[in-house]
Structure 1
Amino acid sequence: MPRFAANLSFLYQELPFLDRFDAAARDGFAGVECLFPYDVPASEVRARATTLGLSIVLINAPPGDWAAGARGLACVEGREGDFRESIERALAYATAVASPRVHVLAGLMPAGSDRDAAIARYEERLQWAADQAARAGIALMIEPINPHDMPGYLLQRQDEAHAIVERIGAVNLQVQMDLYHCARVEGDAVVQLRRYLPTGRVGHFQIAGVPDRHEPDEGTLDWRSALTAIDEIAAGTGWDGWIGCEYRPRRGAVPEGTSAGLGWIQTVPGGFG
């Protein structure tokens, strides 16, 4: 069964960031991921993960001014210099904490802007970033994100993401398939999973319940069929990635709120993997 990673930007939010590593390890996770860890020295993050025997499996590249509404720089006109700085910072941090993957957010398209021009910028910058990442031995992820959660986001569909990866042709550029976002946009995420995982272009999964983004066992996502499909395809292709648990615990950011909601993983054959 695929391995589960705790997303420490979503789970255990009642704890200071580094203490979330301890909580994830106590609950049985073998891997962790997070959005933007850059306020914490990489040496401290690496030391905590190493002490606990945790793999850091994914971080995001800096997205610009998140608090001011930025959601990535890769397609944004006039921000090429900032984009390159964000990639360089992300690769240095990922190398320091031994994360093999970096997710690069596409960015928002202002109303009325030229989509074709934005896609062209996006692909040109991704090509450059993939070249830099290859030298560092790191894989870059691009992720379709649904417009309900992130209005105006450039990349929303699986077919768009896979077409971009195919056109660029870099072996270390892959799709991060979030089953929550996929289901919000394209309906049956299991159908999409079975279509795209065998291509070899999916490098990472994430999961949450639909539509409220709580634990996967709440809502309409057919999460058991999704995990079964991943397991079956992985057995035939050798795919050995991770599934990031990127959801908001239904009990909220309260003591043991995350832990109390992990029963769904415990019903999966192999548990935490």
Structure 2
Amino acid sequence: MAVLERSYKRYEGALSPEWSRFLIIPRHAVRNIFRSKLFTGFYALSFVWPLVCAILIYLHHNAEALSIMKLNVLDVLPIDASFFQAFVAVQATVGFFLAMLVGPQQVSRDLTNNGLPLYLCRPFSRSEYVVGKMSIVIILLSTITWVPGLILFLLQSYLEGWAWFSDNLPIASAIFLGSLVWILLLAFATIVNQMIETHWGNLISLNALIQNVWAGLFGTFVRQVGQVTEMRRGVVVREALLTEPPLWASWFMLFLICAFCLWLLSRKVKAYEVVK
């Protein structure tokens, strides 16, 4: 049939559910991302640390392997909250570099090439567009943070027994929540902090902020972290304790940062911007 003979026909195919329409964006974006050999190689290397942690967990419960390697079980790192906190911290650092490779180009291309009208002229809201773009980073970073973290937790639970699983169940929630909070922050923005004889400035430092949240989730949070002593002519004239802000303040600051970034996104994501 010639093009001139074609007429408009209503689409009669199956419609995708409204709640899952935002998944169209990450589905196609992930295909393009893994076409990059640099990203694919770096993504593969991000699983080295989970593999090392799995080996350490295995060695803890394999006396034969320890005897062959002439290692004492006490020489191997203890598998506790600090172990999983270190795992989350390392994988979060790797995730930061992955986000740097993936995140910046997702929205900038649409803005540069005026692609937003193509999205918003369809039954696709601005919020779905934002969630779809954020889900690219969230999905990729989840596969290297809390997903392998929970697998390691289940491996340790399987080898140690049901009693260890029930006693350390909060560690699993800490792995998930701690990783998810960091992923959301990477999907939003970064802020730099300066401290002057206090750690309350950590409320505006994402690095220190997420460290406090992780420590609180894993039960290793300590408010007093140091002491400053000022001496003159050998006499102490002033002493000050360095204390971290309370955990509720850190969580509240995270909420404010995420809310502010969402507000900025809602202001920026428009089909056309009219300048008066």
> TM-score, normalising length from structure 2?
0.28
More helix by share: 2
More strand by share: 1
Pair member with larger Rg: 2
